[in-house]
Structure 1
Amino acid sequence: MAFLFLPLVFFTLASIIYVPYSSTAAGGNWPPSPGYWPSSKVRSMRFYQGYRNLWGPSHQKVDNSALTIWLDTTSGSGFKSMRPFRSGYFGTSIKLQPGYTAGVITAFYLSNSEAHPGFHDEVDIEFLGTTFGKPYTLQTNVYIRGSGDGKIIGREMKFHLWFDPTKNFHHYAILWSVKELIFLVDDIPIRRYPRKSAATFPLRPMWVYGSIWDASSWATEDGKYKANYQYQPFVGTFTNFKAYGCSAYSPRWCRPASASPYRSGGLSNPQYKAMHWVQSRYMVYDYCKDNKRDHSKTPECWI
């Protein structure tokens, strides 16, 4: 099958459906309506329809439509899509663990690190664990032909959220086309990373991954707070898996998915307005505005 259409099944279990956009929720402190909901255009699938365990099988459990993975002193866990993609919409609804989770990363991301070790591309949605009384940080990141050996160049934008991600499931997604990357939370665009040059954009096929692991050296306030296994296990629950796009085996005429009403891609004015609302109120770090960074290595900041 050249053109991969996933998912195949809708889920209706009320206990796992993410809380949708509501203009009256949280006392009106939610983003303005984006006017378009990409997640509604893509059917959901069960975990085993599109994914498999990658590591830590004893720390992974599938129950009906939900996947639970956890970290303790013995292991974390991760999963991977069965197919690589060269573009598409990739989403899942996630519920995070409350309480002390410092040092713990719960992630959903695209990568080709196994195909190109030491020289891979990656697009991340990562939840950075936290201490009591402080909010989770959602970190988005883009790596272009980088590695973990000191050459890596991160392109981080970090956000707090306008809701508590431990209370309910919320939907997190990455839209990857030949023109742009768009990060979405409950269908609200929070970041758009346009393709400004071939050198600053991921163009090789990537797989979809999810994981939970110990990143005590940097995850929480630059490593100030470490994972405390007094509070183990650290748990992340995923459901409502969505993947729609062109696989690595699709013909060149395969049409990329879009996060907007426009078949050509881009964002509509209401989507830009919603994104600006989030960035102006909840963005806590932008690599392009970090004066300590060497921006000769991130030319997209000034192109």
Structure 2
Amino acid sequence: MPSSLFSFLYVAPLFSFLSLSSIISSSAQRPPSPGYYLTSKISTVNFDQGFRNLWGPQHQRLDQGSLTIWLDSTSGSGFKSLNSYRSGYFGAAIKLQPGYTAGVITSIYLSNNQDHPGNHDEIDIEFLGTTPGKPYVLQTNVYIRGSGDGNIIGREMKFHLWFDPTQDFHNYAILWKPSEIIFFVDDVPIRRYPRKSDATYPTRPMYVYGSVWDASSWATENGKYKADYRYQPFIGRYRNFRLQGCTIQSPNSCKPPSTSPYGYDSLSPQQFASMQWAQNNYLVYNYCHDPRRDHTLIPEC
């Protein structure tokens, strides 16, 4: 590993660290307890047990169970699960890079793009890079048979976070069930996407991916700020991977993990309350409330 990269992994620009920390601390609140903690119910797996490198192998390092991937002017990097899943719980603890990260996406997501190019499904957790002094945006998104064909229909909901995601690892996860998709941050549900019709819900098997890549055209304030490679490398750190679900080889009787305590088909009232808290305080964009969108294309709203 280049010595410059090694030093960058552990030394962040002090001015940006302090400015972002002050923003977070001035508005941060502790979320109400969801009352149910899926991370305590699902065992972690080693990276090699569940994933393989997909691209940019020279920009990927595995050290004692912790994966580091990075983007520079030559390449980014990505990984992919060994199995394809029909449903399940998929997550990891992730730590983001401080400082100037505009234009850069760090992600964990589900997709079947390699099986259905131009007509794939996708469920995303994406961290949109930022400029010093401004918080990261966590974007959740759902695509249904609609990417790459010129008719991309995103279903984005964007959040700020109640903590600084560059200071420590936090757990981010997607629970994909036949009836609903739920996005979690440290076991707090932040978004629920119910299955209202087959046309608006992803049902085909998907792999789990993670990546860091240059999305300068749209990632930061709709492309206003681009990736600036004077600040390279741009680093994403992952650990505590969790994969528990029904693969394409699993019997039809296989079911994904339970969302909540026994007795609830979906979120419990306490989980719903914590989700409402997150949306009331940290939701910054909801595609259903965007007057610029053609709502005939998003009937679930």
Question: TM-score normalized by structure 1?
Answer: 0.89
Structure 2 contact 101–234 (Cα < 8 Å) conserved: yes
Aligned to 2:177: 177
- CA shift for structure 1 position 263: 6.5
**Equivalents in 2 of 1:166, 1:173: separation in Å?**
17
**Equivalents in 1 of 2:161, 2:233: separation in Å?**
24
Aligned to 1:239: 239
**Equivalents in 2 of 1:249, 1:262: separation in Å?**
27
- CA shift for structure 1 position 258: 2.0
Aligned to 1:5: none
1:204 alignment partner AA: R
**Equivalents in 1 of 2:129, 2:256: separation in Å?**
33
Structure 2 contact 135–160 (Cα < 8 Å) conserved: yes
- CA shift for structure 1 position 110: 0.2
Structure 1 contact 174–181 (Cα < 8 Å) conserved: yes
Structure 1 contact 159–284 (Cα < 8 Å) conserved: yes
2:72 alignment partner AA: D
Cα deviation digits, residues 184-241 of structure 1 (max 9, x gap): 0000000000000000000000000000000000000000000000000000000000
Query: Which 5+ residue runs of structure 1 have no aligned equivalent?
Result: 1-25
Q: Does 1:50 align with 2:54?
A: no
Secondary structure, in 3 states, of the residue corresponding to 2:173?
Answer: strand
Aligned to 2:69: 69
**Equivalents in 2 of 1:220, 1:148: separation in Å?**
21
Secondary structure, in 3 states, of the residue corresponding to 2:79?
Answer: strand
Structure 2 contact 97–166 (Cα < 8 Å) conserved: yes
The within-5 A match list for 1:9-24 is none
**Equivalents in 2 of 1:188, 1:288: separation in Å?**
22
* Equivalent residues, number: 277
**Equivalents in 2 of 1:249, 1:62: separation in Å?**
28
Secondary structure, in 3 states, of the residue corresponding to 1:80?
Answer: strand
Aligned to 2:136: 136
Structure 2 contact 119–149 (Cα < 8 Å) conserved: no
Aligned to 1:12: none
**Equivalents in 2 of 1:258, 1:184: separation in Å?**
14
Cα deviation digits, residues 128-153 of structure 1 (max 9, x gap): 00001000000000000111242110
Decide whether aligned partners of structure 1 residues 151 and 262 sit closer, same or farther in structure 2, where only a CA change above 3 A counts.
farther
Aligned to 1:204: 204
The structure 1 segments of at least 4 consecutive aligned residues displaced by more than 4 Å after TM superposition are none
Aligned to 1:112: 112
Decide whether aligned partners of structure 1 residues 241 and 137 sit closer, same or farther in structure 2, where only a CA change above 3 A counts.
same
- CA shift for structure 1 position 30: 1.4
Secondary structure, in 3 states, of the residue corresponding to 2:145?
Answer: strand
Aligned to 2:187: 187
The within-5 A match list for 1:1-303 is 29-262=29-262, 265-301=265-301
1:45 alignment partner AA: V
**Equivalents in 1 of 2:168, 2:195: separation in Å?**
34
Cα deviation digits, residues 58-79 of structure 1 (max 9, x gap): 0000001100000000000000
Structure 1 contact 177–258 (Cα < 8 Å) conserved: no
Secondary structure, in 3 states, of the residue corresponding to 1:35?
Answer: coil
**Equivalents in 2 of 1:259, 1:80: separation in Å?**
24
**Equivalents in 2 of 1:196, 1:262: separation in Å?**
24
**Equivalents in 1 of 2:106, 2:258: separation in Å?**
26
Q: CA RMSD in A?
A: 1.3
1:202 alignment partner AA: P
- Identical counterparts, % of pairs: 67
Aligned to 1:16: none
**Equivalents in 1 of 2:217, 2:42: separation in Å?**
37
- CA shift for structure 1 position 264: 5.8
Question: TM-score normalized by structure 2?
Answer: 0.90
Query: Which 5+ residue runs of structure 2 have no aligned equivalent?
Result: 1-24
**Equivalents in 1 of 2:128, 2:48: separation in Å?**
27
Structure 1 contact 175–258 (Cα < 8 Å) conserved: no
